[in-house]
Structure 1
């Protein structure tokens, strides 16, 4: 029996987890309605207009990149490190007849010139690295490629009773069932998960993840250090204000 990937100690989880066809089967629950609502929000709050160069960082399957392109944002560029995710994004793009652009790159070393982009999105992909200094480096790299005055949109889960809930849960998708055992390390502010996915064809994949959850205040401090000013923080894409009860932190930041 073959597997899409094998978890090893030599490679970080954010590489091993996004190999093969497994991620598509695990995360295929994202629907077009959610994607459109997200893009509606950022078009409004980032002032996006066709003709701008927009980077969709850590784009995975490229659903937000494709939605932007379909709306006439022909200079939107999806960026991801996983060749398998980008292969799917390109394949889906071809089937849909769109002309979305995708680039394989590490978010810590973007292949774009200084001040060459007009806006950037980084959705639910922050806090993956081992140290907060590395996370800050990601924000600094994004700041490097954005022109002064350009906007960054982020979607991050802060420490909250809903996001740090420990225990075991089962997630059932149309083509896979994933069992997730989650622990919370308050000292490191890290959410650690050990997971096992059983696919319809009988394959079983073990994998893990570990991400640091930042409070809205700490994330704001990091953005300031990286060269941004926070223009707004929201509790969701409905535009609700951020509060201590918010299990989500949507951030609009402006490059100084």
Structure 2
């Protein structure tokens, strides 16, 4: 799963016993050599689907941008300024190093996604996020979605991929269920907590929380990843639009 340039088992253990912020600060220099980075295949599928359904945008926001995997995609979809927001200073340092030559167009802001700075209000036409939602408890989704809603201009779109429910009893279902159970035990016994769960972001409740935050919600199949035996897609793209 990890390349020779990735973190060692010891480094992963130290990260896992840290807070989310500190853990990603430690992991940042090697993060792009782990399977945790959003695959280019997913980024390409989202970019192609957004271009097909929405066309071009003005300014773009990457929420929980990490080392900046989604910034290149936004720079191609958006005509205006691109901003990446993340809590981890270490991850932002890696992103800034990667996109330093584009500083006239790309900037990065260190902030908690649950409390985005007021200076970002009604600034963006497109917001995206990849692979970060497991770091937010269900009770934190309203604050997360409300902040993104505020950052968008009226009519702006918040887009992100979401996977279909895993087949009950499948190998992946057992793996993710076991991981989540282990994390709950870890967080009950160890401080600071490290919030990372795989099965706390189901489509139905997420859709309701988006609507409560002021979005209209549409789902588009990401056909690049095929369909399940019942004909439903393995992955969908959520298009949450700020009303008005």
TM above 0.5? yes
What does 1:200-239 align with in structure 2 at a 5 Å threshold? 209-230=196-217, 232-236=218-222, 238=224
Offset at residue 61 of structure 1 (A): 1.6
What does 1:41-120 align with in structure 2 at a 5 Å threshold? 41-49=49-57, 52-69=58-75, 73-94=79-100, 97-99=101-103, 100-111=106-117, 112-120=119-127
Identify if the C-alpha distance between structure 1 residues 220 and 236 changes in structure 2 by more than 3 Å, giving closer, same or farther.
Answer: same
Q: Secondary structure at the match of 2:157?
A: strand
Please say if residues 46 and 222 of structure 2, whose CA atoms lie closer than 8 Å, have aligned partners that are also in contact.
Answer: no
Offset at residue 217 of structure 1 (A): 2.4
Q: Secondary structure at the match of 1:250?
A: strand
RMSD of Structure 2 on Structure 1 (CA): 3.6
Task: Determine whether 1:150 maps to 2:143.
Answer: no
Q: Which 5+ residue runs of structure 1 have no aligned equivalent?
A: 168-181, 195-206
- 1:125 is matched with 132
Q: Which 5+ residue runs of structure 2 have no aligned equivalent?
A: 1-7, 184-193
Task: Determine whether 1:184 maps to 2:177.
Answer: yes
Structure-1 separation of matches of 2:149 and 2:133: 15
Structure-1 separation of matches of 2:151 and 2:81: 15
Structure-2 separation of matches of 1:159 and 1:31: 20
Structure-2 separation of matches of 1:61 and 1:193: 27
Offset at residue 5 of structure 1 (A): 7.3
Normalised by the length of structure 2, the TM-score is 0.72
Structure-1 separation of matches of 2:109 and 2:34: 23
Answer with 235-244 or 61-70: which moved more. Answer: 235-244
Structure-2 separation of matches of 1:138 and 1:60: 16
* Structure with the largest fraction of helix: 2
Structure-2 separation of matches of 1:149 and 1:29: 30
Q: Secondary structure at the match of 2:129?
A: strand
- 2:32 is matched with 24
Please say if residues 164 and 191 of structure 1, whose CA atoms lie closer than 8 Å, have aligned partners that are also in contact.
Answer: no
Identify if the C-alpha distance between structure 1 residues 227 and 139 changes in structure 2 by more than 3 Å, giving closer, same or farther.
Answer: same
Q: Secondary structure at the match of 1:6?
A: helix
Offset at residue 18 of structure 1 (A): 5.2
Structure-2 separation of matches of 1:66 and 1:157: 23
Structure-1 separation of matches of 2:147 and 2:78: 27
Please say if residues 49 and 222 of structure 2, whose CA atoms lie closer than 8 Å, have aligned partners that are also in contact.
Answer: no
The Cα offsets for residues 55-112 of structure 1, whole Å up to 9 and x where unpaired, read as 0111112122134336663401111111121111121224xx4343222211111123
* Structure with the largest fraction of strand: 1
Task: Determine whether 1:161 maps to 2:167.
Answer: yes
Offset at residue 210 of structure 1 (A): 1.9
How many equivalent pairs are there?
219
